[in-house]
């Protein structure tokens, strides 16, 4: 299994102090910065767009992992890459023509990945597993931080790990010191955590997620 990485979700940080939050979370041991982009259509929430990604990029040292929860991500991937996204993941449930959009992400200089909602089978991502740099399995319904972990997605993580032993498999939603063990045992190696990491001592919370 590839190396374990912790990706705090900036959705739970103090947006009035993004620079300070980015510096603090990196000093606390973050490996990636997870950026949740929501379009108020694919999910019932509206968050961060390219100008804010560009602002984060100016103060970030770690790679930006941009999770596009958008109905039409194909229209925006080049703009997010230009703003400084290092990894761009798109949902298989979106309207995007998948092959074309993954290629567009690469062409724009970022690493492409796919995302599966909790009810979506691994079969939906199978044709592209050799063409992506990361597979993100949602362990909550996308849209909001602070929701309860959906354990049944562990089956999807296990199936993905069996199919792709060397792929970065990310899990997102409800990850904390209790749920992390099951996620890692199932084969996830990139752990997104928002509310858990930002509601306590950042370094201690990140350390508590480094299980193996
Ligand atoms: C949910 C987002 C997550 C979210 C995770 O739509 O994709 O990244 O911020 O938050 P927690 O860790 O609080 O579940
Ligand atoms: Zn996310």
Question: Residue 169's beta-bridge partner residues?
Answer: 135
pLDDT > 80? residue 212: no
Q: Which ligand is nearest to the CA of 193?
A: 1
SS3 190: strand
Q: Architecture of domain 5-209 in CATH? A: Alpha-Beta Barrel (3.20)
Question: Do residues 98 and 122 touch, judged by C-beta distance below 8 A?
Answer: no
Q: Provide the residues around ligand 2 (an ion) whose CB is within 5 A.
A: 36, 67, 172
CA atoms 172, 177, 182, 184: torsion sign: positive
Q: Cα(41) to centroid of ligand 1, in Å?
A: 17
Q: Cα(145) to centroid of ligand 1, in Å?
A: 4
- What pLDDT digit, counting tens, does each position of 140-188 carry? 999 999 999 999 999 999 999 999 999 999 999 999 999 999 999 999 9
- What pLDDT digit, counting tens, does each position of 28-63 carry? 999 999 999 999 999 999 999 999 999 999 999 999
Cβ 179 under 6 angstroms from ligand 1: no
pTM: 0.98
Domain boundaries, the chain: 5-209
Q: Cα(39) to centroid of ligand 1, in Å?
A: 15
Residue identified by tokens 């309207």 is: 95
Q: For helices 18-27 and 202-209, what crossing angle results, to 10°? A: 50
> pLDDT band for position 211 (50/70/90)?
confident
Nearest-CA residue for ligand 1 atom 6 is 142
């Amino acid at each position: 299994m590839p190396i374990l990485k912790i990706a705090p979700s900036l959705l739970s940080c103090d947006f009035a102090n993004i620079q300070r939050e980015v510096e603090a979370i990196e000093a606390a041991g973050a490996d990636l910065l997870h950026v949740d982009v929501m379009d108020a259509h694919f999910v019932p929430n509206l968050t961060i767009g390219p100008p804010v990604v560009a602002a984060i990029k100016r103060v970030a040292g770690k790679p930006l992992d941009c999770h596009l929860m958008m109905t039409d991500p194909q229209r925006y991937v080049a703009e997010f890459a230009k703003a400084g996204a290092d990894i761009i993941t798109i949902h298989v449930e979106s309207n995007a023509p998948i092959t074309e959009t993954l290629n567009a992400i690469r062409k724009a200089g970022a690493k492409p990945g796919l995302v599966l909602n909790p009810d979506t089978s691994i079969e939906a991502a199978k044709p592209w597993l050799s063409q992506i740099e990361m597979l993100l399995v949602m362990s909550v319904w996308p849209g909001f931080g602070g929701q309860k972990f959906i354990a049944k997605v562990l089956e999807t993580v296990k199936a993905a790990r069996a199919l792709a032993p060397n792929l970065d498999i990310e899990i997102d939603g409800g990850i904390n010191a209790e749920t992390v063990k099951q996620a890692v045992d199932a084969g996830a190696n990139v752990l997104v955590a928002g509310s858990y990491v930002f509601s306590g001592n950042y370094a201690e919370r990140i350390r508590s997620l480094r299980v193996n």
